[in-house]
Amino acid sequence: MKRLMSVVLAVLMAASVFTACGGSGETASGEGGQGASSPAATPEPTPEPYEAQVLTGYEKDIDYPEGERITGVMVNNIQACRPQRGLSAADILFEIKVEGGITRFMALFTDYNDIPEIGPIRSARDQFFRLVLPWQPLYVHVGQSVVQRQYIKDYDYEEWDLEGNTAAGLIYRDSNRRNWAGNTVAKEHTAYTNGEK
């Protein structure tokens, strides 16, 4: 029985091969296949190169600050310091937990000239720094954690680390600042900067 099934299967396979190889010589349009020319293929257009902005991915325009470092600004996010200023103008905004259940913002700007008044500026933290280190940004903050201080030394980053207490003219204090509840705030919540500074 197995031998008979094998022979039948072999005959069917051979018949399907010969049937597939045969044909009437006509194409789908009914014309003879011998000597008929096929339509010329249309060449695919070559796309123009797309130059993307580093942070947004949008196409670079004529005003793109080519060769300029991006800028990261650390901004406080505890309830007592709200509302913040300048966050909506950032090209990218990161929010990361720092300690004790609180978070902090880091606003990234492609062009430091476009930075509006932003703050209140707070201390640098290593999780933010490690996140943006591949971009080698100017890094604006007031104060830093012990771990962050070590990272700045280890990566020889002092030149681009803009610490508000040591970089002359980088920040200014808004001593009359009031929070969302109308209360005055502690001095640590009064540091601001902008593109001009």
Residue 43 placed within a domain: no
Amino acid at 88: S
Segment 110-122 shows an average pLDDT of 95
Span of 42-51, 108-117, 165-174 with lowest mean pLDDT: 42-51
For residue 163, give the nearest of 155, 152, 147 by alpha carbon. 152
Backbone angles phi, psi at 144, to 5 degrees: -165, 155
Higher-confidence residue of 192 and 26: namely: 192
Q: What is the CATH number of the domain that holds 101?
A: 3.50.90.10
Residue 94 placed within a domain: yes
CA torsion 153-156-162-167 (nearest 10°) is 80
Residue 104 placed within a domain: yes
- For residue 176, pLDDT beyond 60: yes
Q: Find the helix or strand (DSSP H, E) in which 150 lies.
A: helix 146-154
Instruction: State the Cα–Cα distance between residues 185 and 76, nearest whole angstrom.
Output: 12
pLDDT of residue 33: 52
Residue 24 placed within a domain: no
Residue 8 placed within a domain: no
Number of domains in the chain: 1
Q: Which two tokens stand for residue 173?
A: 């204090």
Q: For residue 107, what is the DSSP state?
A: E
Higher-confidence residue of 35 and 49: namely: 49
Amino acid at 111: D
pLDDT of residue 1: 66
Residue 197 placed within a domain: no
Segment 157-176 shows an average pLDDT of 89
- For residue 141, pLDDT beyond 80: yes
Neighbours of 176 (CB within 10 A): 7
Residue 4 placed within a domain: no
Instruction: State the Cα–Cα distance between residues 152 and 165, nearest whole angstrom.
Output: 16
Instruction: State the Cα–Cα distance between residues 106 and 10, nearest whole angstrom.
Output: 72
Higher-confidence residue of 87 and 180: namely: 87
- For residue 31, pLDDT beyond 90: no
pLDDT of residue 50: 80
Residue ranges making up the domain that contains 151 = 71-192
Which residues on neighbouring strands pair with residue 128, listed in sequence order?
Answer: none
Q: Which two tokens stand for residue 194?
A: 């902008």
The average confidence (pLDDT) of the chain is: 86
Single pTM value for the model:
0.73
Tell me the CA end-to-end span of the chain in Å, nearest whole number: 93
- DSSP strand pairing (172-173 vs 191-192): antiparallel
Amino acid at 99: E
Residue 40 placed within a domain: no
